[in-house]
């Protein structure tokens, strides 16, 4: 008898169902103790379906092909000294932040999906988690491989995992993923698969990776797009997970709404770092943060939430505030990077004249009124030989761990600080969004490892000031940190270009 080729749906059914069994020595609830305590009710795990209907055999086939393509290009990149093709070495600050902040997050995401894959009792869900855990590990590894070529020639790439556990700006992505990993499995998938992957990663990967291509970074473009092809599968799963949970029981709706509210806001705060990449670190510009927010949140994100209305899900709380802040946060964050860069593993600088004009074009009156004068003042100090660095530790939000540089939406000259008393102690926040998140789980967030507090308590290698703290991070001023235009990176770049300054003079390629 000839074998008929299975349809995609049949193959998916056969390879993701009936792989598990009802336990008899121990009750199922004891074998899977984590998938009920959040209050999410699942009546039928078989309703979980991956719309791509990807099975393990097809997964290996396509992943192998992606890896072959990727490594062919990475080999070519390093053999041909591809780092020389960059638009400008300032661009590398974006890669350093990626290496230090995003790559370890990919690894944590891998760990998280390994855990959640064990915690869910539905076989379809476990297969999906297994694939995603492998994807995330692949992302962490390929990124480290791609960056290793840069590590041969530039500062700041040398100790990503060491810095991740110590650097103030890296505690932001670290705490995001650790908050998710220490929640229940349904909250984890809502946080990572839905809020981060579906709602927010387009803002990270699409303009930025496209920007890497625009700035001549073949290695990053290649791993970025290779990873993004996995992300599109993760995003799809994120949406299906949310729909699956919402369809299982009406009691799940308010729990999911809270998860969506919390993780939208946490993700949005994390993306303040990404916005500065687009507006300040790409010498050749692709689109502004405000434009990306308009496309990927105001247009695409709202389309998603219109679709979810039928389940009784509303757009995430405070999303209007995020939209009101879109013309401000990147300039504010870059001011922090500019003034605090000696205590980081990257370089910062003042925007060049062509960039100030580009920012004025993109942000209009807001930039002209509040931010161009700020950079003009910094420039004046530089001309006077007093390049400004801050020497003082900042107030950091207890929830998102971002230094509180955000301002009130109705007053861009006044920092937005919120406070809450809990069990006789005060906690400080950057926003109502972060204060609400704390208020719901104070027992969890009171434990947060807030870098300035840890330094003051003597837990940062005994560092008493920012210089000692930078040494504890293993960052050397001028080599890994501080002003770009007096750095070793800049000197080397100039030397490679016959002693000429090759800073671009226009935003276009």
Partner 1 sequence: MATISIGDYDFKPADRVENYGGDINIYCCWEHHLLIPCPAAYRLPPDIPLIDFLETMFRPDHQHHPDYARLNYHNLIWTLDGKSWQPKLAASLREGGVVHMSYLSFRAPGLDGFNGHGV
Partner 2 sequence: MRDKVFIAFQQNEESRPIIEAILQDNPLAVANEQPAMVKIDAPGRLVVRRTTIEEKMGRAFDLQSIHINLISLAGNIDETEDEFILAWHGA
Binding region for partner 2 (CB under 8 A)? 7-9, 51-54, 58, 62, 65-66, 69, 201-202, 205-207, 209-211, 213-214, 221, 225, 228-229, 231-233, 235-236, 239, 243, 286, 299-300, 302-304, 306-310, 509
Measured from the CB atom, the residue of 71 and 449 that comes closer to partner 1 is: 449
Say if strands 482-483 and 425-429 run parallel, antiparallel, or are unpaired: unpaired
Size of the site for partner 1 (CB under 8 A): 53
CB of 28 to partner 1, least distance (A): 16
Tokens encoding 91? 């661009």
Shortest CB 50 distance to partner 2, Å:
9
**Stretch of 126-134, 226-234, 262-270, 408-416 contacting partner 1, by CB under 8 A:** 408-416
Contact map string, positions 332 to 361, toward partner 1, x by CB under 8 A: x--xx--x----------------------
In this chain, which of 38, 178, 357, 382 binds partner 1, going by CB under 8 A? 38
442 touches partner 1 by CB under 8 A: yes
Distance from the Cα of residue 131 to its chain's centroid: 20
432 contributes a contact to partner 1 by CB under 8 A: no
**Minimum distance, C-beta of residue 339 to partner 2, in the bound complex (Å):** 31
DSSP 428-494: EESSHHHHHHHHH-HHHHTT---HHHHHHTT-STT--SHHHHHHHTT--BTTTBEEGGGSHHHHHHH
Which residues, in sequence order, are bridge partners of residue 396? 403
- 3-state secondary structure at position 343: helix
CA 203 – CA 215 distance, rounded (Å)? 18
CA R_g for the chain: 24
Q: Which stretch binds partner 1 (CB under 8 A): 14-22, 260-268, 357-365, 391-399?
A: 391-399
- Given the complex with partner 2, which of 35 and 231 has the nearer CB atom? 231
Let me know: does 226 contact 70? Beta carbons within 8 Å.
yes
Give the span between the Cα atoms of 468 and 473, in whole angstroms. Answer: 9
Q: Which residue in 137, 162, 294, 394 binds partner 1 (CB under 8 A)?
A: 394
**Distance, CA of 66 to chain centre:** 23
Q: How far apart are CA 402 and CA 340, in angstroms?
A: 13
Q: Of the candidates 319, 482, 333, which has an alpha carbon nearest to the alpha carbon of residue 404?
A: 333
| Chain centroid offset of residue 40 CA | 27
Helix (H) or strand (E) holding 426: strand 425-429
Q: From the list partner 2, partner 1, none, pick the one residue 457 interacts with, judged by a Cβ distance below 5 to 8 Å according to partner type.
A: partner 1
Backbone region of residue 401 per phi and psi (left: phi > 0; alpha: psi in -120 to 50; beta: other values): left
Query: 129, 117, 112, 108: which is closest to 32 by C-alpha?
Result: 117
Least separation, in Å, of the C-beta of 204 and partner 2?
A: 11
146 class by beta-carbon count within 10 Å (0-12 exposed, 13-18 middle, 19+ buried) = buried
CB-nearer residue toward partner 1: 146 or 336:
336
Q: Tell me the closest approach of the beta carbon of residue 229 to partner 2, in angstroms.
A: 5
The entry of partner 2, partner 1, none near residue 184 (CB within 5 to 8 angstroms by kind) is partner 1
CB of 211 to partner 2, least distance (A): 7
Taking CB under 8 A as the rule, does residue 115 contact partner 1? no
CB atoms within 10 A of CB 357: 14
CB nearer partner 2, residue 109 or residue 202: 202
d(CA 228, CA 204): 10
What whole-number distance in Å separates Cα of residue 41 and Cα of residue 375? 53
With respect to partner 1, which residue has the nearer C-beta, 311 or 449?
449
Contacting partner 1 (CB under 8 A), which of 1, 2, 303, 413? 413
Cβ nearer to partner 1, comparing 132 with 335: 335
In angstroms, how far is CA 125 from the centroid of its own chain? Answer: 24
Contacts of 498 (CB under 8 A, 6+ apart): none
Per-residue x/- marks for partner 1, 144-183, CB under 8 A? ----------------------------------------
295 is a contact residue toward partner 1 (CB under 8 A): no
| Shortest separation between residue 119's beta carbon and partner 1, angstroms | 11
Given 114, 295, 304, 439, the residue binding partner 1 (CB under 8 A):
439
The contact set with partner 1 (CB under 8 A) reads 33-34, 37-39, 184, 332, 335-336, 339, 370, 373-374, 377, 386, 388, 390-396, 403-405, 412-415, 417, 419, 423, 425-428, 439-444, 446-450, 452-454, 456-457
């Amino acid at each position: 008898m000839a074998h008929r080729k299975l349809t995609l749906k049949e193959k998916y059914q056969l390879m993701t169902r009936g792989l598990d069994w009802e336990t008899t020595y121990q009750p199922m609830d004891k074998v899977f103790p984590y998938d009920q305590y959040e209050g999410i009710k699942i009546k039928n795990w078989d309703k979980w379906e991956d719309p791509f209907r990807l099975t393990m055999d097809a997964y290996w086939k396509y992943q192998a092909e992606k890896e072959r393509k990727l490594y062919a290009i990475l080999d070519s990149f390093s053999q041909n000294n591809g780092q020389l093709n960059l638009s400008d070495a300032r661009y590398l600050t974006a890669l350093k932040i990626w290496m230090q902040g995003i790559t370890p997050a990919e690894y944590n995401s891998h760990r998280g999906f390994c855990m959640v894959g064990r915690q869910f009792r539905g076989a379809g869900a476990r297969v999906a988690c297994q694939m995603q855990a492998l994807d995330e590990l692949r992302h962490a590894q390929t990124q480290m491989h791609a960056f290793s070529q840069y590590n041969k020639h530039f500062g700041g790439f040398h100790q990503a995992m060491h810095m991740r556990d110590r650097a103030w700006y890296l505690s932001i992505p670290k705490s995001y993923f650790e908050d998710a990993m220490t929640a229940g499995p349904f909250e984890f998938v809502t946080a990572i698969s839905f809020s981060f992957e579906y709602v927010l990663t387009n803002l990270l990967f699409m303009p930025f990776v496209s920007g890497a291509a625009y700035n001549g970074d073949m290695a990053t473009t290649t791993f970025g797009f290779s990873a993004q092809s996995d992300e599109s599968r993760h995003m799809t799963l994120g949406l299906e997970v949310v729909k699956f949970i919402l369809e299982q029981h009406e009691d799940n709706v308010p729990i999911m709404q809270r998860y969506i509210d919390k993780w939208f806001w946490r993700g949005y705060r994390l993306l303040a770092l990404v916005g500065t990449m687009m507006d300040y670190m790409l010498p050749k510009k692709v689109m502004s943060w405000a434009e990306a927010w308009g496309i990927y949140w105001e247009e695409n994100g709202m389309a998603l939430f219109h679709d979810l209305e039928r389940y009784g899900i509303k757009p995430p709380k405070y999303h209007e505030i995020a939209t009101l802040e879109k013309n401000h946060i990147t300039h504010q964050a870059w001011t922090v990077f500019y003034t605090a860069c000696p205590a980081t593993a990257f370089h910062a600088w003042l925007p060049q004249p062509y960039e100030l004009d580009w920012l004025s074009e993109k942000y209009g009156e807001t930039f002209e009124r509040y931010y161009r004068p700020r950079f003009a003042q910094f420039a004046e100090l530089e001309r006077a030989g007093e390049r400004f660095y801050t020497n003082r530790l900042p107030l950091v939000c207890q929830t998102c761990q971002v230094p509180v540089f955000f301002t009130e939406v109705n007053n861009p000259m006044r920092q937005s600080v919120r406070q809450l008393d809990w069990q006789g102690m005060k906690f400080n926040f950057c926003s109502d969004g972060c204060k609400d998140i704390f208020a719901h789980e104070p027992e969890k967030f009171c434990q947060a490892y807030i870098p300035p507090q840890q330094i003051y308590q003597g837990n940062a290698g005994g560092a008493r000031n920012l210089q000692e703290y930078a040494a504890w991070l293993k960052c050397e001023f001028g080599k890994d940190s501080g002003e770009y235009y007096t750095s070793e990176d800049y000197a080397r770049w100039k030397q490679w270009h016959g002693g000429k300054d090759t800073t671009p003079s226009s935003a276009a390629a």
